[in-house]
Amino acid sequence: MGNVSHELKTPISALQAHLENLLDGVEEPNPRVLAVMLAQCERLARLVDQLLDLSRLESGDVPLELEPVTLGELVDQVVAEVAVSRPERAVRVVNDVGAGLPPLRADRERLHQVLYNLLDNAFRFTPAGGTVTVGAHRENGSCSVSVHDTGAGIPAEHITRVFERFYRVDSSRARSDGGTGIGLAIARSVVEAHGGTIWAEPGGHGGATFRFVVPLWDPSAEDSPAILLHANGGTHT
C-alpha cells in the first residue's frame, strides 16, 4: 500500500500544483501547461489500469484463450507500437526471430502484453544510438524468447528482484521516464500462467537480456479448453 500510495501521489501532486497555479493566475491555461497536466492524467490512468490488471492476473480471474501465435509477426507489431509511443528514442530494433520457428501455444493478447512490457523497458534504458534485439529459438517443445538491449545493464544484486512489483534499479530515472514499476511483474504473471518461466541476466557485451520460455503449439491439443490464470503462476482448466 505504501508503494501504491507513493506512485499515485507524484502525478496527483503535480496536477494539484498546476490547478492551484491556474486558479491563482500564476499560470495561464496555455497548450504547454495543459499538455503537462494531460501527461500526468495519462500516467495515473496507466498506473490504475496496470494495478487492476495485475490484481486480476494474480487472483486467477483472467481466461487464457490459447491459439497458435506466429512470434515474428507479433514482434513486428509490438515494435511498431513501442516506437510510436516513444518517438523521442533513437533506438534501433532488430527482429531476429527466424521465419521457420513453429507457432507458440499462447494467448495472443497476453503474449503481446509480455513483449510490449519487455520492449518498452528495453527502450527506456537504451541510450540514443543503441540497439534492442528480439530473438527466439526452439527448445524441444518450447520456445525461448530473448529481448537484449545495449543499455547500462543491471547490477548483479538487482537481477533477481526486477520482477517484483514497484522495484526499480534506478527509481528516479524510471519514474521520470514514465515507468510504473508494474510492467515486469505483469510479464512474469502472464508467462508463468502459460506454464513458462521468465528471468533477467547480464548481456554478454554490456546491456541486459530478458528471457522467457513458453510452449510451442501442439496440434493434438487444439481442442483443449481455455486456461484460467491461477494465483502464484499455476493454472486450472
pLDDT in tens, 173-183: 444 555 567 88
Residue among 162, 175, 141 at smallest CA distance from 7: 175
Residue 119, classified by CB atoms within 10 Å of its CB into exposed (0-12), middle (13-18) or buried (19+), is: buried
Express as a percent the part of the chain with pLDDT over 90: 36
Least confident range from 14-23, 162-171, 202-211: namely 162-171
> pLDDT band at residue 204, thresholds of 50, 70 and 90?
low
* Confidence (pTM): 0.75
Express as a percent the part of the chain with pLDDT over 70: 84
Average pLDDT, stretch 162-181? 64
In the CATH scheme, what is the homologous superfamily, with its name and number, of domain 65-236? Histidine kinase-like ATPase, C-terminal domain (3.30.565.10)
DSSP state of 147: E
Tell me which CATH code domain 2-59 carries: 1.10.287.130
Q: For the CA atoms of 172, 173, 179, 181, what is the dihedral angle to 10 degrees?
A: -50
Helix or strand holding residue 48 (H, E): helix 31-59
The domain locations on the chain are: 2-59, 65-236
Whether the pLDDT of residue 223 is over 60: the answer is no
According to the model, what pLDDT value does residue 168 have? 67
